[in-house]
Structure 1
Amino acid sequence: MGAQVARADQAEQTEQAERVRVIVADDHECVRIGVTGLLRASPRIDVVAEASDTHSLACQLDAHACDVVISDVCMPGMDGEYSSLSMLRRLVRTPRAPAVVVLTMISSAPMLSGLLQHGLQVIVDKRDVPYALLPAIDAARVREPFQSACTRSVLERAGAGCEPCVGVPSAREWEVLQLYVHGMPIGAIARQLGRSVKTVSTQKRNAMRKFGLATERELIEFATQIGLT
């Protein structure tokens, strides 16, 4: 009997050791609820925390031991910038830091190529979550690349000649772009922010260039994808 109890205890300890501790970060509550529900249905995943922006993600990383961070790349940033990209990029470059799975609705090939260029090699399109998220977690844990079907399709259509977008808009550029996609003309933005029309126009162009966006149509599509409109 004692040997059986010992074996049972050992099996339980092994199972616990193999469980994957995950933090889910997304600024849309419905996404967090869906992803967390899916993960909690798996007997080998522990969702240890959730975060709604980059600051709360940083706090949760300080508070909880974690193996994998699953994060939207377009959450509000910590210093007014547009994204959680800077933090995720630091994670993948830091030894013994949690692995990263990027969740995104972005379908811009230059932006997706830019994520890969930044070292964010595990990318799951939100439309692929039900069947791609668990394999992505497994790939991230062993530091292997993984792109879900929708992401892979965008990259394959773009081909090897796709120029990756590796820039990150400044806080001021992002501020201008948000106001613009919400329908405010350049002149009105300049008056509201106390800048010249030329400065605001330049900041808008710079932000679009860093996102790999060449036309107004691409800008509106991108804003829709990341939930700005």
Structure 2
Amino acid sequence: MKETVRVILADDHSSVRHGLRSLLSAAPHVRVVGEAADTQALAELLDHYHCDVIISDVAMPGIGGESNAVSLLRRVLRESPHPQVVVLTMIHHTHTLLGLLHIGVGAIVDKRDAPDSLLGAIEAVVAGTLWLSGHARRALEAADPSSQPRLGVLSPREWEIFQMYAHGMTIDRIARTLDRSSKTISTQKRSAMRKLGLTSEVELADYARQTGLI
């Protein structure tokens, strides 16, 4: 990279941001122009600072009741022109990774691969090339070739119900808590699972663990 690449970092863990900043400081052509601890702060940074690349986790506090950054990243990637997006994550759920690629994410870097892969991912997306770190690539290679991206944006209520269910609340208890019918809660829970590409309770529990919900 010959020209300076301006980067915004977004992760809700300060230790992760510090580590990323230290890693990127070794690259003379990369300059961190902003840091965000949640999706709201990331949106505000994007309103005030021009950047070439966003490096963002997706499992962090969001806007309007959401608890992930996917809907914001989707909006950013629909704009023209737009910064390139590198997702830095511990998620290895196949449908979620496929969905991120489907909305236009240019690189997925598993946090375990970051020390060896992040600079390569930045160079790749700036050059317009897709990049997958080792763990992310192996997760996708293990997928059924016929799998289709199914990532959807959950409504605030769907996400609320999904979180409550992931924390062990029954459908009936959620219904009583939210003053809704059990049928309505069950429908919204199924909708949330479908949007996340989850087809079983086992996958739901695995997804909840990967995203830090439990």
What is the aligned counterpart of 2:125 among 134, 140, 144?
Answer: 140
What is the aligned counterpart of 2:145 among 160, 164, 172?
Answer: 160
Match of 1:149 in 2: 134
Match of 1:51 in 2: 36
Please give the residue correspondences for 1:1-229 in structure 2 after superposition, counting only pairs within 5 Å: 18-229=3-214
| Counterpart-to-counterpart distance in 2, 1:132 and 1:199 | 44
| Counterpart-to-counterpart distance in 2, 1:163 and 1:64 | 35
> Would you say the 8 A contact 1:26–1:75 is kept in 2?
yes
Secondary structure of the 1:23 match is strand
Give the C-alpha shift of residue 135 in structure 1.
0.6
Structure 1 residues 128-153: Cα deviation after superposition (integer angstroms, max 9, x where no partner): 11111001111111221111111111
| Aligned-CA RMSD value | 1.7
Q: AA paired with 2:96?
A: M
Q: AA paired with 1:86?
A: S
Q: Report how many aligned residue pairs link the two structures.
A: 214
| Counterpart-to-counterpart distance in 1, 2:108 and 2:80 | 20
> Would you say the 8 A contact 1:108–1:154 is kept in 2?
yes
Match of 1:3 in 2: none
TM-score under structure 2 length normalisation: 0.93
> Would you say the 8 A contact 1:28–1:52 is kept in 2?
yes
| Counterpart-to-counterpart distance in 2, 1:214 and 1:167 | 14
| Counterpart-to-counterpart distance in 2, 1:184 and 1:29 | 31
If you compute each CA radius of gyration, which structure gives the higher value, 1 or 2?
Answer: 1
| Counterpart-to-counterpart distance in 2, 1:81 and 1:173 | 9
Secondary structure of the 1:18 match is coil
> Would you say the 8 A contact 1:27–1:76 is kept in 2?
yes
Gaps of 5+ in 1: 1-14
Runs of 4+ in 1 over 4 A off after TM superposition: none
